[in-house]
Structure 1
Amino acid sequence: MDKIKVSVIVPVFNNSEYIGATLDSIFNQDFNGFEIIVIDDGSSDNSLEIIDDKLKSTDIPYTVFHQENQGVSAARNKGIELSNGEYLVFVDADDYITQNHLKELYNGKTDFSLIQLVKKDGDITSEPYIYSQELISTKQFIEMELKMQIPFNFVQLMYKSDIIKSNSIRFSTDYIYGEDTHFALTALSYGDMIAISNEVTYHYIQHPSSAVRTSEFRRFDIVEIFEQLASFYREHGFDDLSKLIITSRIPKAIFGNMNYFFYNGYDFDDVINKMKELDLFSKLSKFEGDKKFKLKIKLFLLNPKIYYSVWKKLKNSID
């Protein structure tokens, strides 16, 4: 077998409506030396039939693995275990990539590389973020993410397989929201540089039935995820990153998800009670940084009901 440069890992669960187009976008890459790893996570529709039919017509090396339903994290972890590539790339079964996706990502030199992503929600397409540099240190990138200065999704990255496997980095199976960011920010801490491409090659399709949209208050899981990451950074000597999580990333995640619930019509008392249950008020108060954002938090903490009433009148966008 020729050397496998890249393993493309695709977790699938009841994605029969989309998986055919997703696989076609992978087949059409103008790049040689990659394999496809498809993990069927106990689909009950005809996803597996479509996968088998698609893959039998390609000469691209592939592996299809069927497991009982364990969740997308377990499926991705199995994909990592079965992979043979020098680098790893993840593509969700309802998204698609452009023909130059792997070509833009692969350079065979840096520990990581990154392309740009757009989100599609019906007729609305987001604007990509444009970087001013072609190379960035992993430390600087992590800091930018923790300060929420950049939009980021873990599928934008190509990961050096040795970093993932030698450090036993895996997706947490205990969460359905934020586990992918935790995976990426953990992996990046073991690397050196990220090669940057401003080409938009990943199209992230948002559907009403997605896990994030149906998870209700599980969105607040992101707080515990980041607390674990803060502990990891502290244990590995990255005290500045650990502090940045506590004083910036967690408060912003709490406030942003709180406003998400308000924006989507959740009952005020239900949101507030859940926040009290999770001790999120004290974690919000630890924010350090932008004065305008700090004032918003202060006003909310002084009187959540008044803040909500004013917010409702103004219909502020999610911060």
Structure 2
Amino acid sequence: MVKISVIIPAYNVENYIEKTLKSLTLQTFKDFEVIIVNDGSTDNTENKINSILKNADFPWKLLKQQNQGASAARNKGLSEVKGEYVSFLDGDDYYNVFFLEKMYNKAKENDYDMVVCSYILISENEKIISKSLQLDDLLGKPLNGKDFLKIILQKEIQPTISSIIFKKKLLIDNNLIFTKKCTNGEDVEFSIKALFHSRLVISVPEPLVFYVKRKSSASQESTVRVFHFVGAMKRVLRYLEKNHAEDELLFLIKHKRIPQAYITSLAKISKSKNPENKKILLKVIKNPKVKETLLNYQPKSWKEKLKLKTLIYFPRLFYLVYNKRLNNLALLQKVWVEKMKDKLMIK
């Protein structure tokens, strides 16, 4: 049995998959397998995979399916894994050469169910956008999965799925799979459920993953599918309620993560050049249940509070901000703050 199974969903990533796969061929840790699921690619992705891995010194297999999305592709890969641990690497992201070695060695120190590392967010042309995910409050501390989950919800930290390794037994014992046809938030939903069931979790300090922010990826789109993220968080809430989670966890999901999902989704949809999206935003924000959800949210930072209040009381201004119709930043800030003075009692 191999130590780690790496699952890669791949859809039309011919321009990115080479860096992804070469990061695996360069790993200092060698006892792993790679399962790639070609999710109905219409470009040269499959030929690239076969060419790059033809002389690989690790076992690998290429599975094929009609285009069903990353969730279905990951689930197909999960059904084939032989490793003790499982990791998920998207077809446009890539690992530091020490990722598998450091993550597996850390996992075996105390038989951890999950190990989480920091990551570096980069653009398509490899410029650093964000240095790393900050896990300062978690580093070196073995935690029960529920306690780990509370901290990342309170601190608004969200590890990317590529920066985690999961014990296979954890996933099998709890029947954890990705929600099919969900294109936004399915990885967050999966990770939260896994953390909820984890006996022990630990993080490592180094950023060992390069997460590529690609304009054409499903998670960056500005269509109504962005609201899949809201649906994912609502499913998490129902799942935790069904499994009798403690009140603090339920509160954090209901009054923090779900309203954040609404704000994130509405900001994304406002970025689109489709004029219909403005109507969608106004319709959503008029929904009494949505408004109640947002009114119950109490963000800590002044910036987030300003964003929330603008969305609730001045949705058209919120749309203009994210649609970049107000191009002068100084003017934008002045308009925004002036409109919000009464609501936030800013002097």
Equivalent residue for 2:315, pick from 304, 307, 311: 304
Query: SS in structure 2 opposite 1:89?
Result: strand
CA contact (8 A) 1:148 1:249 kept: no
- Give 1:16 shift: 1.3
Deviation string 1:275-310 (CA, Å, 9 cap, x unpaired) is: 446942222122246385557645643443466679
Following the alignment from structure 2 to structure 1, what is the Cα–Cα distance between the partners of residues 288 and 7? 34
Normalised to the residue count of structure 1, the TM-score between the two structures is 0.89
- Give 1:266 shift: 6.6
1:1-319 alignment to 2 at 5 Å? 3-106=1-104, 107-108=107-108, 109-121=111-123, 122=125, 123-128=127-132, 129-132=134-137, 133-135=139-141, 136-240=143-247, 241-262=249-270, 268-276=278-286, 279-288=289-298, 290=300, 292=302, 293=304, 297-298=308-309, 300-305=311-316, 313-314=332-333
Query: SS in structure 1 opposite 2:197?
Result: coil
Following the alignment from structure 1 to structure 2, what is the Cα–Cα distance between the partners of residues 15 and 300? 36
Following the alignment from structure 1 to structure 2, what is the Cα–Cα distance between the partners of residues 172 and 264? 26
Residues 90 and 310 (structure 1 numbering): CA distance in 2 closer, same or farther, change over 3 Å?
Answer: closer
Following the alignment from structure 1 to structure 2, what is the Cα–Cα distance between the partners of residues 164 and 212? 24
CA contact (8 A) 1:118 1:204 kept: yes
- Give 1:175 shift: 1.2
Following the alignment from structure 1 to structure 2, what is the Cα–Cα distance between the partners of residues 154 and 196? 14
**One-letter amino acid of the counterpart of residue 112, structure 2:** T
Following the alignment from structure 1 to structure 2, what is the Cα–Cα distance between the partners of residues 93 and 304? 36
CA contact (8 A) 2:120 2:128 kept: no
CA contact (8 A) 1:251 1:287 kept: yes
Following the alignment from structure 2 to structure 1, what is the Cα–Cα distance between the partners of residues 222 and 81? 30
Following the alignment from structure 1 to structure 2, what is the Cα–Cα distance between the partners of residues 270 and 55? 45
Residues 170 and 307 (structure 1 numbering): CA distance in 2 closer, same or farther, change over 3 Å?
Answer: closer
**One-letter amino acid of the counterpart of residue 110, structure 1:** Y
Deviation string 1:156-185 (CA, Å, 9 cap, x unpaired) is: 110000111222111111311001100110
CA contact (8 A) 1:42 1:67 kept: yes
Residues 6 and 253 (structure 1 numbering): CA distance in 2 closer, same or farther, change over 3 Å?
Answer: same
Following the alignment from structure 1 to structure 2, what is the Cα–Cα distance between the partners of residues 56 and 309? 50
**One-letter amino acid of the counterpart of residue 134, structure 1:** G
Following the alignment from structure 1 to structure 2, what is the Cα–Cα distance between the partners of residues 270 and 304? 11
Deviation string 1:24-63 (CA, Å, 9 cap, x unpaired) is: 1111110131111111111122211121222220120112
**One-letter amino acid of the counterpart of residue 314, structure 1:** Q
Query: SS in structure 1 opposite 2:12?
Result: coil
Counting matched residue pairs gives: 314
Query: SS in structure 2 opposite 1:50?
Result: helix
- Give 1:206 shift: 1.6
- Give 1:70 shift: 1.3
Following the alignment from structure 2 to structure 1, what is the Cα–Cα distance between the partners of residues 294 and 52? 49
Deviation string 1:226-246 (CA, Å, 9 cap, x unpaired) is: 111111111111132122111
Following the alignment from structure 2 to structure 1, what is the Cα–Cα distance between the partners of residues 280 and 242? 36
Residues 134 and 265 (structure 1 numbering): CA distance in 2 closer, same or farther, change over 3 Å?
Answer: farther
Query: SS in structure 1 opposite 2:297?
Result: coil
Following the alignment from structure 1 to structure 2, what is the Cα–Cα distance between the partners of residues 206 and 11? 16
- Gaps (5+ residues) in structure 2? 327-331, 337-347
Query: SS in structure 1 opposite 2:210?
Result: strand
CA contact (8 A) 1:246 1:286 kept: no
CA contact (8 A) 2:285 2:315 kept: no
Deviation string 1:168-218 (CA, Å, 9 cap, x unpaired) is: 111111311001100110111111222211111110112221112224232
Query: SS in structure 2 opposite 1:115?
Result: strand
Residue 345 of structure 2: aligned partner? none
**One-letter amino acid of the counterpart of residue 131, structure 1:** D
**One-letter amino acid of the counterpart of residue 113, structure 1:** V
**One-letter amino acid of the counterpart of residue 295, structure 2:** S
